Chains A and B, each alone.
Chain A
Amino acid sequence: MKAKIATFVIMLGFWVVMSGMFDAFHFSLGVLCCLLVAHFSSELLFPEHGKPWVRELVGLALYFPWLVKEIILANLQVAYVILHPQMLEKIDPHLFRFKSKLTRPIAKVSMAQSITLTPGTITVNIHEDEFTVYALTAEAAEALPGEMEERIARALEIQ
């Protein structure tokens, strides 16, 4: 039931942003559609029953500003390397692997996306708990998994 209400609220917010019409006809049409979608497909948005997804959302909201800060810092590093006259000395592209202690798929995917979003590292593959990462510089590789994994674990690994 909670999942259905949450789906309805999200859908209605999306409808309002997308349509921008608030007269009785269009708005009631939106409410009707959102009720139907929420009733039939709330499992698509909240697939796991009984998980504390409210706390997950809060955790993600707390994690997001840190991620943005990391992205900006890493972007400046990569910009420095790219614009450096002796660029080929600076870069050291290599593939490396590390084991992660994350267990839930959503946490692993968040980790992979975060790694790829921070410049200098691309997640190539996740197999079981082993991440394969392609790094541009040695410094970018050293930072992993480290703090990012801990923060994701705090945000999403709620049992």
Chain B
Amino acid sequence: MATRRGFLAGMMAAGLPRIGWAAAGSPDFLAAAKAGEAYELHGLTAAGDSLFAIPLPARGHAAAAHPVRAEAVAFARRPGTFALVIDCVAGTVKARLTPPEGRQFNGHGVFTAEGGLLMTSEVVAEGSLGRIGLWETETYTRIGEWDSGGIGPHDMKRLADGRLVVANGGIETDPKDRSKLNIATMRPNLTLLSPEGAVLEQAVLEEDLHTNSIRHLALMGNRVAFAMQWEGDPAEPVPQLGLWQPGQAPWLCPPGEAEAFAMKGYAGSIAAAQGLVALTSPPGGVLMVFDAAGAPLAVHRRADLSGVAPGPEGLVATDGQGGIWAVEPEGLRLLARHNLSWDNHLVALA
């Protein structure tokens, strides 16, 4: 802790010029999109207006927003060989992150509260053992890595006290073609890391759910909501939502029986706000709303829904037809529609 604090203080003291998000129009969200044949990163307001659109060289997966500076890190799709640090005011690429030899980005990253450190989910290409890559953010230089505590880490979230929770999806993939190599033996977990990267606690699912890959996370205070993707028999009704209070066993939150297959076993994104948890399923074309205790409240249908994130006025979702929606228990309320396709994830700015 002392080392990292000292490092951050040094960075602050260096007094380098920084341009805040206000200069980029103070977006509430970042979202990648495909417009015609071009890929873009957009800054969005809570009302769904686009403040900027910056070209991306290829389709991305998720992005991470620097908490202070108007910088976004856009991660390539898995297996990722690069991530781009984008200056959202100038619209230029400020840095290109390349994982060390034998490592691949796995689609997600998160900054520390002050933004001095970027953490990236990575795998050792051969075997998919998880790593958390560490990058200082003035020059975006690699300064180290941690063990993620499992195979195939995907999403991760930083708790307010600096601890990091990682979704180790459990799937070993072929480094070249993404094919899944260990479905019969996979064992996903949730791993809680200290601010220094030590494994504090791990949670696993019951044996009969060992093929439910834990992939995406949302925080409700210190409680973790996690979203899963089922690799088992699609005819088995399994939950896509779980909740975990570190110190306790995780518990699963199935939907109502009539909606047991609505998500086709696949949750694409998850977000929590104002006592609600929302999960999207692009293949199912649904968004499910649960309360903070995991009880199902509603199912809303909309083709190709994927991104969902907490905004200043509540949860917002995006879809592959350009729609941006306010998520309410009663239904989806259209905020805006753009003539493009919103990509997998919608990223909230703090």
**A and B physically associate:** no
Residues of B whose CB lies within 8 Å of any CB of A are none
